[in-house]
Amino acid sequence: MQIVDSPARALIALAMRTGRIERKTAETAIAVEVNLDGTGTYDVSTGIGFLDHMVEQFSKHSLIDVTMKVDGDLHVDQHHTTEDSALALGQALSDALGDKAGIGRYGSAYSPMDETLARVALDISGRPYCVWKAAFTQEKLGEWDTELIRHWFESIAQTAGITLHCELLYGENNHHICEAIYKGFARAMRIAVEQDPRKGGAIPSTKGQLGG
């Protein structure tokens, strides 16, 4: 049983922060559900194996439950599926965050994977921006085009309202580079979405709102 010692903390403890988005266009049909207060459980199917693996890593290491089903026009290419899955996930995260009351707002993480080290820093500011300082030396990871990885992060930053900085400090193996960045993003998001009971449910901005 969870014990709370004030009404504000009780509200923080009991609130379930979930979001669901259904997005259908001529190019993709997507359903995404998230639970910010989950345990990192996931059920992901995008039609792109390596993208599935990365979204699963995001869920596992952020402790955000993610259900994602994508039916995309992969007979054309992978661009629409990659972009729209990130847009929908970002929308679901934004929906779950609501007015962002009581959250940490900022998060950062160093993420090592063997010879690779990545750094991700973010601010759930409501002002989307993505700085990307990483590169890949091969065209594909599995069947996924590596040029789309940056675009996935730019797209999720757009709809989640995140200022996002992703940086590869060093590394050689392309799989390790990609996975280190996704895990760093996950761990930074875990910190940023966590609710701090000392804030008493206040929005973490001197303006009284985030975004705009």
Q: Which string of DSSP letters, residue by residue, matches the chain?
A: ----SSHHHHHHHH---EEEEEEE-SSEEEEEEEETTS-S-EEEE-S-HHHHHHHHHHHHHHT-EEEEEEEE-TTT-SHHHHHHHHHHHHHHHHHHHTT-TTB--EEEEEEEETTEEEEEEEE--S--EEEEE---SSSEETTEETHHHHHHHHHHHHHHT-EEEEEEEE---HHHHHHHHHHHHHHHHHHHH-B-GGGTT--SSTTSSS--
Domain annotation for the chain: domains and CATH numbers: 7-199 (3.30.230.40)
Q: Would you say 74 and 50 are in contact if contact means Cβ atoms under 8 Å apart?
A: no
pLDDT of the residue at 85 = 98
Gyration radius of the chain over CA positions? 17
pLDDT at 10 (0 to 100): 43
pLDDT at 35: 98
pLDDT of residue 139: 98
Looking at residue 3, its pLDDT comes to 39
End-to-end CA distance of the chain: 39
Q: Which amino acid makes up residue 60?
A: K
**pTM of the predicted model as reported, rounded to 2 decimal places:** 0.91
150 close to 211: Cβ distance less than 8 angstroms: no
User: Which pLDDT score, from 0 to 100, does residue 201 have?
Assistant: 83
Q: Which of 82-86, 129-133, 158-162, 208-212 has the lowest mean pLDDT?
A: 208-212
pLDDT (tens digit per residue) in 132-182: 999 999 999 999 999 999 999 999 999 999 999 999 999 999 999 999 999
Contact 37, 16 (CB under 8 A): yes
Confidence of residue 195 (pLDDT cuts 50, 70, 90): very high
Would you place residue 206 in the very low, low, confident or very high pLDDT band (cuts 50, 70, 90)? low
Residue 108 has pLDDT above 80, yes or no: yes
pLDDT of residue 149: 98
Residue 1 has pLDDT above 50, yes or no: no
The b/e string for 191-205 (b: 16+ C-beta within 10 A; e otherwise) is bbbebebebebebbe
pLDDT at 205: 66
pLDDT, tens only, 91-100: 999 999 999 9
Average pLDDT over the chain reads: 92
Q: Lowest-confidence range among 31-40, 53-62, 63-72, 198-207?
A: 198-207
Q: What percent of the chain has pLDDT over 90?
A: 84
* pLDDT tens column, 6-28: 444 444 444 689 999 999 999 99
